[in-house]
Amino acid sequence: MPLWGNKKLHQRVVALTPRLHIIARSWGCSPDLCDDLVQETLATALNKISQLRKEAALEVWVIRILTNSHRLYLRQHKYLSPLDSHELIDELDPQHSLDAQQTIDMVRAAIGLLSDEQRKVLTLVDMESFSYQKVAEILDIKIGTVMSRLSRARAQLRKIINDISARTNRTETQPDLWRVK
Amino acid sequence: MKTSFDADNVSDELLNAFVDNELDRKEHLQLLQTQLKYPAIHLRICELRQIKELVSSARHQEPSNHDSSQQPRARTRKNRSMAASLMILVTIGTIVFIAQAAWLKPDNTARYRYAYPQIKVVLNKLDARNKTNIVFHINKNNVHSLEALFTDIQRLLIDPRTENKNIRIEVLTSGPGLPLLDTLSEKHLKLIQQLYTQHENISFIVCKQTLTKFRKETKRLQQLPKGMVLTASAPELIKLRRAQGWNYIHI
Protein backbone atom coordinates (compact mmCIF):
# COMPACT_ATOMS: atom_id res chain seq x y z
CA MET A 1 0.00 0.00 0.00
CA PRO A 2 1.47 3.38 -0.93
CA LEU A 3 2.43 5.49 2.06
CA TRP A 4 0.61 8.57 0.79
CA GLY A 5 -2.71 6.75 1.07
CA ASN A 6 -2.14 5.96 4.72
CA LYS A 7 -4.51 8.01 6.86
CA LYS A 8 -2.74 6.99 10.05
CA LEU A 9 0.50 8.35 8.66
CA HIS A 10 -1.17 11.68 8.00
CA GLN A 11 -2.38 11.71 11.58
CA ARG A 12 1.11 10.92 12.83
CA VAL A 13 2.50 13.85 10.86
CA VAL A 14 -0.12 16.21 12.29
CA ALA A 15 0.46 14.85 15.80
CA LEU A 16 4.04 16.07 15.55
CA THR A 17 2.82 19.70 15.53
CA PRO A 18 3.49 20.54 19.22
CA ARG A 19 6.93 18.95 19.10
CA LEU A 20 7.89 20.83 15.93
CA HIS A 21 6.74 24.01 17.62
CA ILE A 22 8.95 23.32 20.64
CA ILE A 23 11.95 22.55 18.47
CA ALA A 24 11.52 25.74 16.44
CA ARG A 25 11.17 27.73 19.70
CA SER A 26 14.39 26.21 21.00
CA TRP A 27 16.15 27.49 17.88
CA GLY A 28 15.23 31.01 18.93
CA CYS A 29 12.24 31.55 16.61
CA SER A 30 9.46 33.87 17.76
CA PRO A 31 6.01 32.27 18.30
CA ASP A 32 4.77 33.76 15.02
CA LEU A 33 7.73 32.47 13.08
CA CYS A 34 7.31 29.06 14.73
CA ASP A 35 3.72 28.94 13.51
CA ASP A 36 4.81 29.78 9.97
CA LEU A 37 7.66 27.26 9.95
CA VAL A 38 5.56 24.47 11.44
CA GLN A 39 2.74 25.18 9.01
CA GLU A 40 5.17 25.14 6.10
CA THR A 41 6.73 21.91 7.37
CA LEU A 42 3.41 20.12 7.79
CA ALA A 43 2.17 21.22 4.40
CA THR A 44 5.40 20.06 2.73
CA ALA A 45 5.39 16.77 4.64
CA LEU A 46 1.79 15.99 3.72
CA ASN A 47 2.33 16.91 0.08
CA LYS A 48 5.50 14.89 -0.25
CA ILE A 49 4.61 11.97 1.97
CA SER A 50 4.91 9.63 -0.99
CA GLN A 51 8.67 10.33 -0.93
CA LEU A 52 9.00 8.85 2.56
CA ARG A 53 10.68 5.48 2.21
CA LYS A 54 10.38 4.03 5.70
CA GLU A 55 7.44 4.68 7.94
CA ALA A 56 9.68 4.32 10.99
CA ALA A 57 11.79 7.27 9.82
CA LEU A 58 8.79 9.62 9.74
CA GLU A 59 9.82 11.73 12.74
CA VAL A 60 13.37 12.31 11.51
CA TRP A 61 12.06 13.05 8.02
CA VAL A 62 9.56 15.68 9.22
CA ILE A 63 12.10 17.37 11.50
CA ARG A 64 14.51 17.42 8.58
CA ILE A 65 11.90 19.34 6.58
CA LEU A 66 11.59 21.78 9.50
CA THR A 67 15.37 22.21 9.50
CA ASN A 68 15.35 22.97 5.79
CA SER A 69 12.48 25.45 6.15
CA HIS A 70 14.36 27.20 8.95
CA ARG A 71 17.59 27.24 6.92
CA LEU A 72 15.72 28.75 4.00
CA TYR A 73 14.18 31.38 6.26
CA LEU A 74 17.60 32.32 7.64
CA ARG A 75 18.95 32.62 4.12
CA GLN A 76 16.07 34.82 2.99
CA HIS A 77 16.10 37.10 6.02
CA LYS A 78 18.95 38.86 7.59
CA TYR A 79 19.21 36.89 10.77
CA LEU A 80 18.60 38.85 13.93
CA SER A 81 18.40 36.93 17.14
CA PRO A 82 14.76 37.17 18.18
CA LEU A 83 15.64 36.24 21.73
CA ASP A 84 15.05 39.17 23.94
CA SER A 85 18.34 40.42 25.30
CA HIS A 86 16.56 42.38 27.99
CA GLU A 87 15.66 40.06 30.79
CA LEU A 88 12.22 40.41 32.32
CA ILE A 89 11.74 38.99 35.75
CA ASP A 90 8.49 37.59 37.08
CA GLU A 91 8.19 38.75 40.66
CA LEU A 92 5.28 36.56 41.61
CA ASP A 93 6.13 33.56 43.71
CA PRO A 94 9.63 34.99 44.21
CA GLN A 95 11.21 31.99 45.86
CA HIS A 96 10.45 29.75 42.95
CA SER A 97 10.70 32.15 40.06
CA LEU A 98 14.01 33.66 41.11
CA ASP A 99 15.72 30.31 41.15
CA ALA A 100 13.97 28.33 38.49
CA GLN A 101 12.60 30.77 35.93
CA GLN A 102 15.62 33.04 35.94
CA THR A 103 17.90 30.06 35.35
CA ILE A 104 15.72 28.90 32.48
CA ASP A 105 15.67 32.39 30.98
CA MET A 106 19.42 32.65 31.35
CA VAL A 107 20.00 29.28 29.69
CA ARG A 108 17.65 30.16 26.84
CA ALA A 109 19.42 33.47 26.35
CA ALA A 110 22.79 31.68 26.39
CA ILE A 111 21.57 29.13 23.83
CA GLY A 112 20.46 32.06 21.68
CA LEU A 113 24.04 33.30 21.60
CA LEU A 114 25.36 30.09 20.06
CA SER A 115 25.80 29.73 16.32
CA ASP A 116 22.81 28.28 14.50
CA GLU A 117 24.72 25.05 13.73
CA GLN A 118 25.71 24.50 17.34
CA ARG A 119 22.27 25.46 18.66
CA LYS A 120 20.49 22.94 16.42
CA VAL A 121 22.72 20.02 17.45
CA LEU A 122 22.56 20.95 21.13
CA THR A 123 18.79 21.33 21.27
CA LEU A 124 18.09 18.17 19.28
CA VAL A 125 20.32 16.10 21.58
CA ASP A 126 19.57 17.67 24.96
CA MET A 127 15.99 18.85 24.59
CA GLU A 128 14.59 16.34 22.13
CA SER A 129 16.77 13.39 23.24
CA PHE A 130 17.68 12.33 19.72
CA SER A 131 20.62 9.97 19.25
CA TYR A 132 23.71 11.24 17.42
CA GLN A 133 22.74 9.05 14.46
CA LYS A 134 19.29 10.64 14.19
CA VAL A 135 20.67 14.17 14.55
CA ALA A 136 23.14 13.40 11.77
CA GLU A 137 20.22 12.27 9.57
CA ILE A 138 18.07 15.28 10.44
CA LEU A 139 20.81 17.81 9.76
CA ASP A 140 22.35 15.84 6.92
CA ILE A 141 25.83 15.83 8.44
CA LYS A 142 28.26 13.14 9.62
CA ILE A 143 28.18 11.74 13.15
CA GLY A 144 31.70 13.09 13.70
CA THR A 145 30.42 16.58 12.88
CA VAL A 146 27.53 16.12 15.33
CA MET A 147 30.02 15.16 18.05
CA SER A 148 32.37 18.06 17.43
CA ARG A 149 29.57 20.62 17.15
CA LEU A 150 27.95 19.33 20.32
CA SER A 151 31.23 19.41 22.18
CA ARG A 152 31.95 22.98 21.08
CA ALA A 153 28.37 24.02 21.81
CA ARG A 154 28.48 22.76 25.41
CA ALA A 155 31.90 24.30 26.02
CA GLN A 156 30.71 27.63 24.61
CA LEU A 157 27.47 27.45 26.60
CA ARG A 158 29.35 26.80 29.81
CA LYS A 159 31.53 29.83 29.14
CA ILE A 160 28.52 32.08 28.42
CA ILE A 161 26.64 30.89 31.52
CA ASN A 162 29.72 31.43 33.70
CA ASP A 163 30.11 34.95 32.27
CA ILE A 164 26.46 35.78 32.91
CA SER A 165 26.61 34.37 36.47
CA ALA A 166 29.81 36.29 37.23
CA ARG A 167 28.24 39.51 35.93
CA THR A 168 25.08 38.95 37.97
CA ASN A 169 27.03 38.25 41.16
CA ARG A 170 29.16 41.35 40.62
CA THR A 171 26.05 43.52 40.21
CA GLU A 172 24.44 42.05 43.33
CA THR A 173 27.48 42.69 45.53
CA GLN A 174 28.11 46.21 44.27
CA PRO A 175 27.16 48.91 46.77
CA ASP A 176 24.51 51.49 45.86
CA LEU A 177 25.97 54.65 44.36
CA TRP A 178 24.59 57.95 45.52
CA ARG A 179 25.04 61.24 43.79
CA VAL A 180 25.95 63.94 46.27
CA LYS A 181 25.05 67.44 45.25
CA MET B 1 43.21 -5.50 27.36
CA LYS B 2 43.21 -1.85 28.36
CA THR B 3 40.73 -1.23 31.17
CA SER B 4 40.83 2.58 31.10
CA PHE B 5 41.90 5.52 28.96
CA ASP B 6 44.93 7.71 29.62
CA ALA B 7 43.86 11.07 30.98
CA ASP B 8 45.51 12.85 28.05
CA ASN B 9 43.70 10.72 25.51
CA VAL B 10 40.23 11.59 26.69
CA SER B 11 38.80 14.06 24.22
CA ASP B 12 35.84 16.34 24.84
CA GLU B 13 33.88 14.49 22.15
CA LEU B 14 34.42 11.22 24.00
CA LEU B 15 33.24 12.70 27.29
CA ASN B 16 30.18 14.18 25.63
CA ALA B 17 29.37 10.83 24.04
CA PHE B 18 29.73 9.21 27.48
CA VAL B 19 27.32 11.72 29.01
CA ASP B 20 24.85 11.13 26.17
CA ASN B 21 25.14 7.36 26.53
CA GLU B 22 26.41 7.05 22.98
CA LEU B 23 29.48 4.89 23.64
CA ASP B 24 29.50 1.16 23.15
CA ARG B 25 29.66 -1.04 26.25
CA LYS B 26 33.44 -1.51 26.13
CA GLU B 27 34.24 2.20 25.82
CA HIS B 28 31.63 3.05 28.42
CA LEU B 29 33.26 0.73 30.98
CA GLN B 30 36.72 2.05 30.11
CA LEU B 31 35.60 5.60 30.72
CA LEU B 32 33.95 4.62 34.00
CA GLN B 33 37.30 3.24 35.13
CA THR B 34 39.08 6.37 33.88
CA GLN B 35 36.90 8.74 35.88
CA LEU B 36 37.49 6.71 39.02
CA LYS B 37 41.22 7.01 38.44
CA TYR B 38 41.36 10.71 37.48
CA PRO B 39 39.24 13.17 39.52
CA ALA B 40 39.75 15.86 36.85
CA ILE B 41 37.95 13.68 34.28
CA HIS B 42 35.18 13.03 36.79
CA LEU B 43 34.82 16.78 37.28
CA ARG B 44 34.59 17.41 33.52
CA ILE B 45 31.89 14.75 33.24
CA CYS B 46 29.94 16.36 36.07
CA GLU B 47 30.12 19.74 34.36
CA LEU B 48 28.90 18.27 31.08
CA ARG B 49 26.02 16.53 32.87
CA GLN B 50 25.10 19.82 34.51
CA ILE B 51 25.07 21.64 31.16
CA LYS B 52 22.95 18.87 29.65
CA GLU B 53 20.50 19.13 32.55
CA LEU B 54 20.31 22.90 32.19
CA VAL B 55 19.62 22.75 28.46
CA SER B 56 17.06 20.03 28.96
CA SER B 57 15.27 22.11 31.62
CA ALA B 58 15.08 25.08 29.24
CA ARG B 59 12.90 23.14 26.79
CA HIS B 60 9.83 25.16 25.87
CA GLN B 61 6.41 23.95 26.93
CA GLU B 62 3.90 22.70 24.42
CA PRO B 63 1.94 25.64 23.01
CA SER B 64 -1.46 25.59 24.67
CA ASN B 65 -3.32 26.93 21.66
CA HIS B 66 -2.23 24.06 19.43
CA ASP B 67 -4.84 21.56 18.53
CA SER B 68 -2.98 18.63 17.08
CA SER B 69 -6.13 17.21 15.59
CA GLN B 70 -6.47 20.26 13.41
CA GLN B 71 -5.42 19.62 9.84
CA PRO B 72 -2.98 22.13 8.38
CA ARG B 73 -3.56 23.96 5.11
CA ALA B 74 -2.63 21.64 2.29
CA ARG B 75 -1.16 23.81 -0.44
CA THR B 76 -2.34 21.90 -3.44
CA ARG B 77 -3.50 23.69 -6.55
CA LYS B 78 -7.03 22.33 -6.14
CA ASN B 79 -7.23 23.46 -2.57
CA ARG B 80 -5.81 26.85 -3.43
CA SER B 81 -8.46 27.46 -6.07
CA MET B 82 -11.15 26.29 -3.68
CA ALA B 83 -9.76 28.54 -1.00
CA ALA B 84 -9.65 31.45 -3.43
CA SER B 85 -13.30 30.93 -4.42
CA LEU B 86 -14.29 30.64 -0.81
CA MET B 87 -12.35 33.76 0.05
CA ILE B 88 -14.12 35.73 -2.72
CA LEU B 89 -17.49 34.57 -1.38
CA VAL B 90 -16.52 35.40 2.18
CA THR B 91 -15.18 38.80 1.12
CA ILE B 92 -18.41 39.63 -0.74
CA GLY B 93 -20.42 38.43 2.24
CA THR B 94 -18.33 40.49 4.62
CA ILE B 95 -18.66 43.62 2.48
CA VAL B 96 -22.43 43.17 2.32
CA PHE B 97 -22.59 42.52 6.05
CA ILE B 98 -20.43 45.53 6.91
CA ALA B 99 -22.43 47.74 4.56
CA GLN B 100 -25.67 46.59 6.16
CA ALA B 101 -24.26 46.96 9.65
CA ALA B 102 -23.00 50.44 8.85
CA TRP B 103 -26.37 51.35 7.42
CA LEU B 104 -28.40 49.97 10.30
CA LYS B 105 -26.10 50.51 13.20
CA PRO B 106 -22.93 52.59 13.55
CA ASP B 107 -19.74 50.55 13.91
CA ASN B 108 -18.20 51.51 17.24
CA THR B 109 -14.80 50.04 16.45
CA ALA B 110 -14.33 52.04 13.29
CA ARG B 111 -15.56 55.22 14.95
CA TYR B 112 -13.61 54.85 18.13
CA ARG B 113 -11.34 57.77 18.81
CA TYR B 114 -8.19 56.84 20.63
CA ALA B 115 -7.34 59.08 23.56
CA TYR B 116 -3.73 58.82 22.43
CA PRO B 117 -3.73 59.82 18.74
CA GLN B 118 -0.27 58.30 18.29
CA ILE B 119 -2.00 54.91 18.33
CA LYS B 120 -3.96 55.88 15.25
CA VAL B 121 -0.74 56.90 13.52
CA VAL B 122 0.80 53.51 14.32
CA LEU B 123 -2.29 51.67 13.11
CA ASN B 124 -2.40 53.61 9.87
CA LYS B 125 1.13 52.52 9.12
CA LEU B 126 0.13 48.91 9.70
CA ASP B 127 -0.79 46.76 6.74
CA ALA B 128 -2.08 43.20 6.89
CA ARG B 129 1.34 41.54 6.81
CA ASN B 130 3.21 44.05 8.84
CA LYS B 131 3.89 43.65 12.50
CA THR B 132 4.25 46.40 14.98
CA ASN B 133 5.22 46.84 18.60
CA ILE B 134 4.26 49.61 20.98
CA VAL B 135 5.68 50.46 24.36
CA PHE B 136 3.41 52.66 26.47
CA HIS B 137 5.40 54.43 29.12
CA ILE B 138 3.48 55.57 32.19
CA ASN B 139 5.52 57.99 34.22
CA LYS B 140 2.89 60.39 35.51
CA ASN B 141 0.76 59.83 38.57
CA ASN B 142 -2.51 60.54 36.83
CA VAL B 143 -5.30 58.04 37.19
CA HIS B 144 -7.32 59.58 34.34
CA SER B 145 -4.44 59.04 31.91
CA LEU B 146 -4.24 55.46 33.10
CA GLU B 147 -7.95 54.88 32.58
CA ALA B 148 -7.77 56.40 29.11
CA LEU B 149 -4.83 54.13 28.35
CA PHE B 150 -6.66 51.01 29.49
CA THR B 151 -9.65 51.89 27.32
CA ASP B 152 -7.34 52.51 24.35
CA ILE B 153 -5.54 49.22 24.87
CA GLN B 154 -8.82 47.29 25.08
CA ARG B 155 -9.94 48.92 21.84
CA LEU B 156 -6.56 48.36 20.24
CA LEU B 157 -6.70 44.65 20.96
CA ILE B 158 -10.07 44.28 19.26
CA ASP B 159 -9.25 46.66 16.43
CA PRO B 160 -9.74 44.83 13.11
CA ARG B 161 -6.22 45.84 12.08
CA THR B 162 -4.68 43.95 15.01
CA GLU B 163 -6.96 40.95 14.91
CA ASN B 164 -4.27 38.59 13.68
CA LYS B 165 -2.11 39.51 16.66
CA ASN B 166 0.42 41.34 14.55
CA ILE B 167 0.91 43.77 17.39
CA ARG B 168 2.86 43.47 20.61
CA ILE B 169 2.23 45.80 23.51
CA GLU B 170 4.30 46.58 26.56
CA VAL B 171 2.97 48.84 29.31
CA LEU B 172 5.93 50.12 31.26
CA THR B 173 5.50 51.92 34.57
CA SER B 174 8.34 53.86 36.14
CA GLY B 175 9.30 57.06 37.94
CA PRO B 176 6.41 59.22 39.16
CA GLY B 177 3.96 56.80 37.52
CA LEU B 178 4.79 54.00 39.93
CA PRO B 179 2.62 55.15 42.88
CA LEU B 180 -0.37 54.60 40.56
CA LEU B 181 0.11 50.87 41.03
CA ASP B 182 -0.45 51.31 44.74
CA THR B 183 -3.79 52.99 44.19
CA LEU B 184 -5.23 50.66 41.57
CA SER B 185 -8.86 49.79 42.17
CA GLU B 186 -10.28 46.24 42.06
CA LYS B 187 -11.65 47.04 38.62
CA HIS B 188 -8.18 47.98 37.32
CA LEU B 189 -6.53 44.96 38.87
CA LYS B 190 -9.13 42.68 37.35
CA LEU B 191 -8.68 44.34 33.98
CA ILE B 192 -4.90 43.95 34.08
CA GLN B 193 -5.23 40.29 34.95
CA GLN B 194 -7.83 39.78 32.25
CA LEU B 195 -5.69 41.44 29.59
CA TYR B 196 -2.63 39.52 30.72
CA THR B 197 -4.34 36.12 30.66
CA GLN B 198 -6.37 36.61 27.50
CA HIS B 199 -3.75 38.25 25.31
CA GLU B 200 -0.27 36.83 25.08
CA ASN B 201 0.89 39.87 23.11
CA ILE B 202 0.63 42.27 26.05
CA SER B 203 3.03 42.62 28.99
CA PHE B 204 2.89 44.85 32.04
CA ILE B 205 6.35 45.84 33.14
CA VAL B 206 7.54 47.73 36.17
CA CYS B 207 10.89 49.44 36.67
CA LYS B 208 12.75 47.60 39.39
CA GLN B 209 14.85 50.62 40.37
CA THR B 210 11.80 52.79 41.00
CA LEU B 211 9.99 49.98 42.76
CA THR B 212 12.89 49.35 45.14
CA LYS B 213 13.10 53.04 45.95
CA PHE B 214 9.33 53.27 46.45
CA ARG B 215 9.30 50.26 48.76
CA LYS B 216 12.19 51.65 50.79
CA GLU B 217 10.46 54.99 51.25
CA THR B 218 6.88 53.90 51.79
CA LYS B 219 7.10 50.22 52.80
CA ARG B 220 4.16 49.72 50.45
CA LEU B 221 3.58 47.74 47.26
CA GLN B 222 5.47 44.75 48.63
CA GLN B 223 3.66 42.57 46.12
CA LEU B 224 3.02 43.63 42.57
CA PRO B 225 -0.37 43.06 40.96
CA LYS B 226 -0.62 39.66 39.30
CA GLY B 227 0.59 39.62 35.72
CA MET B 228 3.32 42.22 36.14
CA VAL B 229 7.00 41.61 35.54
CA LEU B 230 10.08 43.61 36.41
CA THR B 231 12.74 45.17 34.28
CA ALA B 232 16.06 46.18 35.79
CA SER B 233 15.89 49.70 34.39
CA ALA B 234 13.09 51.44 32.50
CA PRO B 235 15.38 53.85 30.56
CA GLU B 236 17.49 50.91 29.41
CA LEU B 237 14.40 49.02 28.26
CA ILE B 238 13.12 52.07 26.38
CA LYS B 239 16.51 52.54 24.75
CA LEU B 240 16.53 48.90 23.70
CA ARG B 241 12.97 48.95 22.38
CA ARG B 242 13.65 52.08 20.37
CA ALA B 243 16.75 50.45 18.90
CA GLN B 244 14.57 47.46 18.00
CA GLY B 245 12.18 49.75 16.14
CA TRP B 246 9.31 49.81 18.66
CA ASN B 247 6.86 52.69 18.74
CA TYR B 248 7.17 54.65 21.95
CA ILE B 249 4.12 56.39 23.40
CA HIS B 250 4.53 58.46 26.51
CA ILE B 251 1.53 58.57 28.83
Task: Give the residue-averaged pLDDT of B216-239.
Answer: 83
DSSP SS3 for A158 = helix
What part of B 179-238 touches A (C-beta under 8 Å)? 200, 203, 205, 208, 223-224, 226, 228-232, 236-237
Question: Tens digit of pLDDT for each residue in B146-196?
Answer: 888 888 888 888 877 776 667 888 899 988 888 888 888 888 888 888 888
Question: Tens digit of pLDDT for each residue in B38-85?
Answer: 888 888 898 999 899 889 888 887 665 544 444 444 444 555 666 666
Question: Is some CB atom of chain B closer than 8 A to the CB atom of A164?
Answer: no
Instruction: Tell me the nearest-neighbour CA distance from A63 into chain B, angstroms.
Output: 16
Q: For residue A17, what are the β-bridge partners?
A: none
Report H helices in B58-116: 77-104, 108-111
Cα–Cα dist B235/A120, whole Å: 34
Q: For residue B204, what are the β-bridge partners?
A: B171, B228
Question: Is some CB atom of chain A closer than 8 A to the CB atom of B127?
Answer: no
Best residue in B47, B55, B189, B236 to probe A by mutation, most A CBs within 10 Å?
B55
Report the residue of chain B nearest A110, measured CA to CA: B55
Q: Report which listed range, A74-88, B107-121, B174-188, is most confident.
A: B174-188
Asked if residue A142 has pLDDT above 80, the reply is yes
Q: CA B250 → CA B33, B138, B145, B238, distances in Å?
A: 65, 6, 10, 11
Contact indicator for A42, A17 with CB cutoff of 8 Å:
yes
Question: Is some CB atom of chain B closer than 8 A to the CB atom of A39?
Answer: yes
Question: Is some CB atom of chain A closer than 8 A to the CB atom of B62?
Answer: yes
Q: Inspect the interface and report whether the beta carbons of A132 and B75 lie closer than 8 Å.
A: no
- Residue B234 burial (C-beta neighbours within 10 Å; 0-12, 13-18, 19+): buried
Question: Is some CB atom of chain A closer than 8 A to the CB atom of B20?
Answer: yes
DSSP SS3 for A177 = coil
Residue B190 neighbours by CB under 8 Å, 6+ apart? none
Q: Inspect the interface and report whether the beta carbons of B54 and A161 lie closer than 8 Å.
A: yes
Instruction: Tell me the nearest-neighbour CA distance from B194 into chain A, angstroms.
Output: 16
Residue B103 is predicted with a pLDDT of 45
For residue B107, the tally of other CB atoms under 10 A from its CB is 11
pLDDT class for A135, splitting at 50, 70, 90? very high
Of residues B39 and A78, more confidence is placed in B39
Which one of A21, A89, A151 has the shortest CB-CB distance to B230?
Answer: A89
Asked if residue A121 has pLDDT above 90, the reply is yes
DSSP SS3 for B140 = coil
Which one of B20, B62, B240 has the shortest CB-CB distance to A22?
Answer: B62
Cα–Cα dist B43/A106, whole Å: 23
Residue B22 is predicted with a pLDDT of 92
